[in-house]
Structure 1
């Protein structure tokens, strides 16, 4: 990075306005020209800017430390492959401390990208990640293919974590365009296939999700990364289940369960039991479904994990018209909302508000559904738009409001078309 870019990056990192940094040194427009690489500041101005930024003057003498970058990247590979949160925290702190000592390290942009990617694995980093993304996006034009690969991957993961699945898939699709100009290593390709399969699965794009997760699984098996292989098997099983390949799905889940037992790991018990619950729910084996959902909930610790299964228990009891138990799990879910991440809190509050309206048969049910549908549509979550349109239409039809029911049946079908990524019903064939 050039001197001007490094000044800009450090200024933004310190939340400093151009006007403040330039005050008493130069006019803001001149500082802007420095930051955009249009002029090279004199040594005197450079020193005054560094003093204002509280950066040692000898930082300007920083040279490219390629060995340090190689070391960080090697550790980064290990962290991403193993999903080890403690190692992620250690490496993130090491990179941060190194940058604090070498704020004008020419590889600063790459190091900020690595640090931000590691933060995605750590709790309570949302505000810093958002701030870093604003800074990084501002340097997008100056990024090389490798840096763009990191940036789009980070943006895709953030979108996925915010339940913006369609947007996440768009970011990952952009990453794939860089494969031609940036030769990705096998581990990077495996990670890209893995995170893309998650996003595609959330969009109900099952065929491509299966292809991607199988590619990731092949690498993880080859490298004997057993826990990553289990993760892939769970994704594969979900995709198989949702495409109707139920026997294959059950075999995949059982395989994941067997491997997890062999390595004496309880980390995946909650996920596997949950998906066995959804498998039996499809087969209308309600007793078995509830058994596995309760097992899943017992194995989960974190509120953001528990809420998924609590919601499934609510749905399952509602489906069998056991409204008393449905009310119990609705209340449990609502009580857990304040412990969730901001994105999940909004996402599940919408779901619970809809089920409250259905269970208690509230008078303003259409208004409530309209509000929730607007939220899901804004987030391009056409799957839930389609589901809830059909739920509302069925209720309206049962209440003999056939005209309104027809409107929502049609609206649900239109959302299904959007979800399927087609422009008209003819393309569904």
Structure 2
């Protein structure tokens, strides 16, 4: 049962009511503060008066209905659903929460963190985390499981994967202390697997992805199975176990096609492109990147990503006509990107790097890559691109007989590669 003091505090702050406004004529300010901070238990009469002023009914008759609606909404937050439906269901539950005292309130408030992240409202998610932080000391194990998991989700979204892993580990510690459906456990394991992959903890990414995959296979959740196979493919590629990587990517592609899931198919083609590029098989790499380019329903970022990869592949095989073609296509795409998008900055550097190389504008190329592009990649710990473009720069310096600079950037490329293959 939610502590009544926490409930009162949540509702008061939501209504932007001061403690003075709520306490006036009922209790002293200091006594209300003690109630809200769980330092005293107020009489039922005082609780009734405070709830009446907040416009809340103390009536448990609707609790089962609210619980059922919440359960349905929570499940909507973990699958691909229409955002309009998610918002409509949220508003329906919020109206009930605003006028009824219910045990479901805290869990509903905690799930708002994920809700805001799904809507892309990162600031509102952080505000909700800060709001709930004051009363997190009253959370039971189930509350703490979701509280830590969703804080991990928040840090993942902002790219802070170390902190995300910290919170996911705290959430995982609660697994043996709460009763959850198997798919909830699998979702956390999959999420931890993805985060380990982001942190280049390859063996851990394989371990957690396999744990989640075992559950999803039993449940015939083929989309989640495909997502696990993609993480496994990426992980095996990093440790050069190419046969296993290709096997997992092909399984993901097959599942994506069976379920007509374009997102899975495009993501798999991109990763197969990276794999064959790593193997210096430009013909196969180009074939997979072209699959993304040719898809009219591909997201702009996916198309831009593949355009950048195609520039590199065609330049490496000295097909400068196609290199020029994709540079021009990239310039056109980047004009359509939001100025605030981090991807715009990355692909601005990628496109201009090959543009200057192709035009043999060596001074511009060297200045851009040494003074802007490499520092940008180092700052963002983008070791995959740092390895590629440091080596490209080193080969250029070697070609123009600047051997000291070539040696320096070969060392940078080697360091970046070690980070990528960290297991």
| TM-score for the superposition, normalised by structure 1 | 0.77
Partner of 1:424: none
Find the counterpart in structure 1 of residue 10 from structure 2. Answer: 9
TM-superposed CA distance for 1:320, in Å, is 4.3
Report the 3-state secondary structure (helix = DSSP H, G, I; strand = E; otherwise coil) of the residue aligned with 1:120: helix
CA drift of 1:162 comes to 2.3
1:192 to partner: Cα distance: 0.5
Instruction: Name the CA distance, whole Å, in 2 between partners of 1:27 and 1:359.
Output: 71
Q: 2:158 aligns with which of 146, 158, 162?
A: 162
Kindly tell me: are residues 301 and 358 of structure 1, through their superposed partners in 2, closer, same or farther at Cα, counting changes over 3 Å? closer
Tell me the CA shift for residue 215 of structure 1. 1.4
Q: Which moved more, 1:382-391 or 1:4-13?
A: 382-391
| C-alpha contact (below 8 Å) 1:333/1:352 kept by paired residues | no
The alpha-carbon deviation at position 273 of structure 1 amounts to 1.9
Distance in 2, matches of 1:21 and 1:320, equals: 73
1:348-386 per-residue CA deviation (whole Å, 9 max, x = no partner) reads 514533653564315354331465146315xxx566666
Deviates more, 1:367-376 or 1:138-147: 367-376
CA-atom RMSD in angstroms: 3.8
- Partner of 2:380, secondary structure, is helix
Among candidates 365, 370, 385, match of residue 366 of structure 1: 370
SS of residue in 1 equivalent to 2:193: helix
In 1, are the aligned partners of 2:394 and 2:405 still within 8 Å (CA)?
yes
The match for 1:98 is 96
Question: Per-residue deviation at 1:191?
Answer: 0.3
Contact between 2:51 and 2:58, CA under 8 Å: does it hold in 1? no
Report how many residues are paired: 407
Range moving further from structure 2, 232-241 or 187-196:
232-241
Q: What SS does the corresponding residue of 2:114 show, helix, strand or coil?
A: helix
| C-alpha distance 370-110 of structure 1, shift in aligned 2 (>3 A) | same
> 1:113 aligned to 2:110?
yes
Deviation (angstroms), 1:392? 5.3
Q: Note closer, same or farther for the CA distance 1:403–1:282 as it changes in structure 2 (3 Å cut).
A: closer
State the structure with bigger RCO (CA 8 A, min sep 6), 1 or 2. 1
Displacement of 1:305 in angstroms is 4.1
Indicate the residue corresponding to 2:362 in structure 1.
Answer: none
Using a 3 Å threshold, how does the CA distance of structure 1 residues 251 and 62 change in structure 2: closer, same or farther? same
Partner of 1:337: 337
Rg bigger for which structure?
2
Change in CA separation of 1:368 and 1:251 when aligned onto 2, cut-off 3 Å = same
Task: Quote the Cα distance in structure 1 between the aligned partners of 2:312 and 2:11.
Answer: 50
3-state DSSP class of the match of 1:135? helix
Structure 2 Cα separation of the partners of residues 12 and 418 of structure 1: 46
- What secondary structure, in the 3-state scheme, does the structure 1 residue paired with 2:174 have? helix
Who is 1:282 aligned against? Answer: 278
User: What are the superposed Cα offsets for residues 137-159 of structure 1, whole Å, 9 maximum, x if unpaired?
Assistant: 33322222211221222122222
Q: State how far apart, in whole Å, the 2-side matches of 1:19 and 1:346 are.
A: 42
Contact 2:141–2:174 (CA under 8 A) maintained in structure 1: yes
TM-score (norm 2): 0.78
Give the C-alpha shift of residue 60 in structure 1.
Answer: 5.3
- How far apart are residue 110 of structure 1 and its match? 0.9
After TM superposition, the structure 1 stretch with the greater mean CA deviation from structure 2, 20-29 or 246-255, is 20-29
In structure 1, the residue matched to 2:191 is 195
- Given that 1:203 and 1:419 are in contact with CA atoms closer than 8 Å, whether structure 2 keeps it comes out as no
Summarize the alignment of residues 14-413 of structure 1 with structure 2, pairs less than 5 Å apart. 14=15, 16=16, 18=18, 32-38=33-39, 51=53, 55-56=54-55, 59=56, 61-63=58-60, 66-68=63-65, 70-72=67-69, 74-76=71-73, 78-79=75-76, 82-85=79-82, 88-102=86-100, 104-121=101-118, 123-299=119-295, 300-320=297-317, 322=320, 323-325=323-325, 327-338=327-338, 345-350=341-346, 352-353=348-349, 356-357=352-353, 359-360=355-356, 361=365, 363=367, 365-369=369-373, 371-373=375-377, 375-376=379-380
Query: Which runs of 5 or more structure 1 residues have no equivalent in the other structure?
Result: 422-427
SS of equivalent to 1:338? coil
Matched position secondary structure for 1:337: coil
Give me the whole-angstrom Cα distance separating, in 2, the residues matched to 1:348 and 1:408.
Answer: 25
- Post-superposition offset of 1:222: 0.8
Cα gap change, 1:73 to 1:97, in 2 (>3 Å):
closer
- In structure 2, distance between residues paired with 1:311 and 1:233: 25
CA distance in 2, matches of 1:287, 1:100: 60
Unmatched 5+ stretches in structure 2: 357-364
1:161-192: per-residue Cα shift (whole Å, max 9, x none)? 22333332222222222224334431111000
Shift in CA distance, 39/298, structure 1 to aligned 2, threshold 3 Å: farther
Cα deviation for residue 295 of structure 1 reads 1.3
CA apart distance, 1:197:
1.3
